[in-house]
């Protein structure tokens, strides 16, 4: 396979006749059977990567990273035909308990992307007749959850300074944004910071960079903040959705907007005014309290 000959050696036969029988059986096997027995998972993954020529370069880089840094170190020595779900499950159990160079555990989304790479490679082996089923198909992984955006209140800021821990999605208030823009007033990218903060551009949209080439603590939080501030200023969710370029208003509502404290106060005041207006008889049907209800 892949233009290379395989030299197969067998030994330990008691007689010449036994050796001939074994040779005949070996030669009668199909190419797929031979490949499955002889090739390791590492070799198959390398071959599979070499055939991925019609996908985006960013996807190829992601596949290569998973193959080189995760799949081959954990599964590479296993024969392709002997790979089982237990091998795959053991790998993900180890990965889930391993911290990266920044001291963080892999997120459920990261684990799912790794499994997707492995499943794609093994599905290709199935199509080539090398495997009957996919050992990575039924592996259970933690369900990815969208992070809940939290606003940088004074209390949360104090806790962050004290513990060093922060939310995965932390949204700036209007005051914090104003302070940031004042701080970067002399920065050569000042106009870009304004644009991202107020219009909610993605990092790649603003900088023209590929996502895999950028590693920054979270510039994307400005996008969340832009949605929150627009909503707080009176924009309805449909307008915010169109501003951010979302296909679903559910994504806008669930992920990209947070409720600022000022909005809580506005709602409370509006509710109080409604009740007080009703009590004062404004915009209400007059009631004659002198009339008694019929007995």
Full-prediction pTM beyond 0.75?
no
pLDDT at 31: 53
**What tens-digit pLDDT sequence spans the chain (295 residues)?**
444 555 656 667 678 777 776 666 655 554 545 555 678 999 999 999 998 888 888 888 999 999 999 999 999 999 998 999 999 999 999 999 888 877 888 888 899 999 999 999 999 999 988 888 999 988 989 887 777 788 888 888 888 889 888 787 888 888 888 888 889 989 988 888 888 888 888 877 887 766 566 566 677 778 888 888 888 788 888 888 888 888 888 878 776 666 666 777 787 788 778 767 766 765 544 545 444 444 4
Angle at 270 between CA 264 and CA 274, to 5 degrees: 145
Cα separation, 122 vs 136, whole angstroms: 8
Q: Which domains does the chain have, with CATH numbers?
A: 16-127 (1.10.150.130), 150-279 (no CATH)
pLDDT at 107: 87
- Provide the sign of the torsion angle of the four alpha carbons 192, 193, 195, 200, taken in this order: positive
pLDDT at 35: 55
pLDDT at 146: 74
The number of angstroms, rounded, from the C-alpha of 132 to the middle of its chain's C-alpha atoms is 30
pLDDT at 170: 83
């Amino acid at each position: 396979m892949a233009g290379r000959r395989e030299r197969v050696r067998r030994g330990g036969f008691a007689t010449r006749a036994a050796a001939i029988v074994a040779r005949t059986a070996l030669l009668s096997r199909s190419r797929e059977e031979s490949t499955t027995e002889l090739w390791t998972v590492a070799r198959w993954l390398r071959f599979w990567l070499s055939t991925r020529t019609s996908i985006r370069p960013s996807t190829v880089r992601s596949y290569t990273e998973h193959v080189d840094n995760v799949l081959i170190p954990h599964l590479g020595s296993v024969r392709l035909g002997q790979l089982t779900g237990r091998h795959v499950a053991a790998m993900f159990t180890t990965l889930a308990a391993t911290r990266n160079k920044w001291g963080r555990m892999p997120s459920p989304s990261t684990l799912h992307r790794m499994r997707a790479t492995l499943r794609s490679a093994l599905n290709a082996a199935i199509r080539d007749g090398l495997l009957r089923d996919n050992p990575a198909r039924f592996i259970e992984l933690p369900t990815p959850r969208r992070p809940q955006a939290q606003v940088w209140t004074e209390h949360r800021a104090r806790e962050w300074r004290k513990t060093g821990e922060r939310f995965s999605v932390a949204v700036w208030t209007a005051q914090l944004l104003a302070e940031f823009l004042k701080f970067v007033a002399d920065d050569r990218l000042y106009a870009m910071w304004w644009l991202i903060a107020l219009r909610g551009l993605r990092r790649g949209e603003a900088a023209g960079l590929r996502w895999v080439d950028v590693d920054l603590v979270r510039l994307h939080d400005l996008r969340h903040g832009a949605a929150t501030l627009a909503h707080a200023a009176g924009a309805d969710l449909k307008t915010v959705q169109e501003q951010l370029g979302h296909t679903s208003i559910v994504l806008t509502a669930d992920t990209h907007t947070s409720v600022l404290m000022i909005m809580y106060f506005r709602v409370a005041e509006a509710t109080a005014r409604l009740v007080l207006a009703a009590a004062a008889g404004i915009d209400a049907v007059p009631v004659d309290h002198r009339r008694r209800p019929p007995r």
